[in-house]
Structure 1
Amino acid sequence: MMKLHLICVGKLKESYWRDAFAEYEKRLGQFCNFSLTELPECRLPSDPSAAQIAAALEKEGEWIEKASTGSKVIALCIEGKQFSSVEFAEKMESYGVQGYGSIDFIIGSSFGLSQRVKEKADLRISFSPMTFPHQLARVMLMEQIYRAFQIINHGKYHK
């Protein structure tokens, strides 16, 4: 059974995001071994400079690298490639066929990910050129992972 590890900077603060996340986490149990690592977000002033943001992203990047299992790494970032749900499912299935038993998914802070984390990722994906709250992006990723497993296993969820 494939192992999926979600590494996120920040926590889900509102209960409705936690409930939605928990629902997809429960559903994924039949398809994979899922784990979540939530890392702290670096504290920044209300109007941070570019240098302060860069330093925070580097620090968060160090924490992300320590949390990563060294498996296939998929980073969510605005400059990533956009996939249809079927294409995303095919990509996940191809990793399994190629013998990769685990995938790390990475979601950075509200300022994104360090360049180093992006460069080390095996794949960078983006949901849209639109900007979404990071809490929503986490739920959207879980839904798409669940949808991918439904597609791979010919389930009725994806129409």
Structure 2
Amino acid sequence: MDAKYFEEASENYLKWLSKFCDLEIIQLKEEFHADFEKNKSINCEILEKKILANKEFETVILNVSSTYKSSEEFSEIISKNKNFKSGKLQFVIGPSDGFTNEFKNKYQGISFGPITLPHQLFRVVLLEQIYRAFKINNNEKYHK
């Protein structure tokens, strides 16, 4: 599928979300090496540097092996952070080879299910869930 399709979908969600929050997408370039474990380690180091640069943000990693969250449970994460913490969240979509165990143990992880999706499609799914969470938290109608 054409990447433009995913970009347009992401742009639409960003526009709709602007009514609820300031949202920025930062995409880091993945490193690819022949060694699978080396890939995971290097990419997690790159992510760690970015996370540490945003220390005031609550970090949530999207990880297929983490606890599944329903839309309602996901909305609670956003609501709790907005009401009791800094109101700043960063969601980290994992690199292609996944996260190291050390990285997974450092951060709160959630999963939207046991499926694997291309990053561009997953970004749209994540944006949709963030949008849905704001609609839930504001008691606004949203399709089911």
C-alpha contact (below 8 Å) 2:70/2:112 kept by paired residues: no
Q: Give yes or no for the alignment of 1:105 onto 2:91.
A: yes
Counterpart check, 1:75 vs 2:61: yes
Separation (CA, whole Å) in 2 of partners of 1:111 and 1:158: 34
Q: Does the 8 A contact of 1:31 with 1:149 survive in 2?
A: yes
Q: CA deviation at 1:36?
A: 1.4
TM-score by length of 2: 0.89
Q: 2:6 aligns with which of 17, 22, 31?
A: 17
Contact 2:17 2:131 in 1 (8 A): yes
Alignment gaps of 5+ in structure 1: 1-12
Name the one with the larger strand percent: 1
Cα deviation for residue 117 of structure 1 reads 2.4
Q: Please provide the CA RMSD for this pair.
A: 1.6
- Tell me how far 1:96 sits from its aligned partner: 1.7
Residue 104 of structure 2 is aligned to residue 118 of structure 1:
yes
- Matched to 2:50, the amino acid is A
* C-alpha distance in structure 1 between counterparts of 2:82 and 2:41, whole Å: 31
Q: What is the Cα deviation at residue 130 of structure 1?
A: 2.2
| 1: CA distance, partners of 2:61 / 2:115 | 17
| Contact 2:68–2:113 under 8 Å retained in 1 | yes
Distance verdict in 2 for CA 1:93–1:158, change over 3 Å: farther
Q: Percent identity at matched positions?
A: 36
Check the 8 A contact 1:89/1:151 in 2, yes or no.
yes
Matched length? 140
Comparing both structures, which one devotes a greater share of its residues to helix? 2
TM-score, L = length of structure 1: 0.81
Q: Which residue of 2 aligns with 1:143?
A: 128
In structure 2, what residue type is equivalent to 1:72?
E
Give ranges in structure 2 of 5+ residues lacking alignment.
none
The amino acid of 1:60's aligned partner reads: N
What's the counterpart of residue 29 of structure 2? 40
Alignment match, 2:70: 84
